[in-house]
C-alpha cells in the first residue's frame, strides 16, 4: 500500500511537471504579413485597410501584423507620403511597418527620406520568406 501511494505521488508529480508548461504557455499569436511592392496609392490604402480589418476581426492584441514595403512601394513610407497619417494610425494600433533597406539603397533613399516612426529590414523579400516559413499568412492586396 505504501509502495503504491509513493508511485502515485511520483507519477502525479511527473505529470504535473510535464503538463504545467504546456498548460501555462500562452498560445502563439498568429501572424499576418501584408506585402506592398507597387507604386499605386490605392494599393497602399487597401493594405492599411487590410491591417485594420485583421485587427478588428481577431483583436489587435491577438494577432501580429506586419506591413513589409519594398520595390516600387517605397513611396508609401516616404515622410511626405499622401497616406503618412494612415501609417501613423497603423503603427499606433500595434502593426509593425517595415521598409526594405535594399530598396532604399537602390533608390538612393535615406532614413531621413522616410516616415520617422517605421522600422527597417535588410531585405523585404527575405522578411516575407522567413515569416512564411514561421507560419505567417502573407497577403498582397
Average pLDDT estimate for 96-115:
98
Residue ranges making up the domain that contains 74 = 31-139
Q: Report the number of distinct structural domains present in the chain.
A: 1
Average pLDDT estimate for 109-138:
98
Is residue 52 within 8 Å of residue 95, measured between CB atoms? no
In a domain, 128, yes or no: yes
For the cut 60, the answer to whether the pLDDT of residue 18 exceeds it is no
Contact residues for 41 (Cβ-Cβ < 8 A; gap 6+)? 75, 76, 82, 83
Burial (CB count <10 Å: 0-12, 13-18, 19+), residue 103: buried
In a domain, 12, yes or no: no
Q: What percent of the chain has pLDDT over 70?
A: 81
C-alpha cell at position 133: 516559413
In a domain, 6, yes or no: no
User: Between these two residues, 2 and 26, which has the higher pLDDT value?
Assistant: 26
Sequence length of the chain is 141
pTM over 0.85: no
What pLDDT digit, counting tens, does each position of 27-85 carry? 688 999 999 999 999 999 999 999 999 999 999 999 999 999 999 999 999 999 999 99
Which pLDDT band, with edges at 50, 70 and 90, does 115 fall under? very high
Amino acid at each position: 500500500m505504501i509502495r503504491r501511494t509513493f508511485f502515485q505521488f511520483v507519477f502525479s508529480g511527473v505529470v504535473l511537471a510535464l503538463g504545467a508548461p504546456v498548460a501555462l504557455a500562452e498560445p502563439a499569436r498568429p501572424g499576418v504579413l501584408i506585402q506592398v511592392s507597387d507604386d499605386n496609392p490605392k494599393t497602399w490604402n487597401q493594405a492599411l485597410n487590410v491591417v485594420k480589418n485583421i485587427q478588428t476581426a481577431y483583436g489587435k492584441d491577438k494577432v501580429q501584423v506586419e506591413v513589409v514595403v519594398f520595390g516600387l512601394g517605397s513611396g508609401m513610407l516616404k515622410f511626405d507620403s499622401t497616406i503618412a497619417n494612415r501609417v501613423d494610425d497603423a503603427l499606433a494600433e500595434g502593426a509593425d511597418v517595415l521598409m526594405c533597406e535594399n530598396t532604399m539603397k537602390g533608390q538612393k533613399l535615406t532614413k531621413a527620406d522616410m516616415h520617422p516612426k517605421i522600422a527597417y529590414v535588410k531585405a523585404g523579400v527575405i522578411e516575407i520568406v522567413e515569416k512564411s516559413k514561421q507560419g505567417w499568412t502573407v497577403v498582397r492586396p
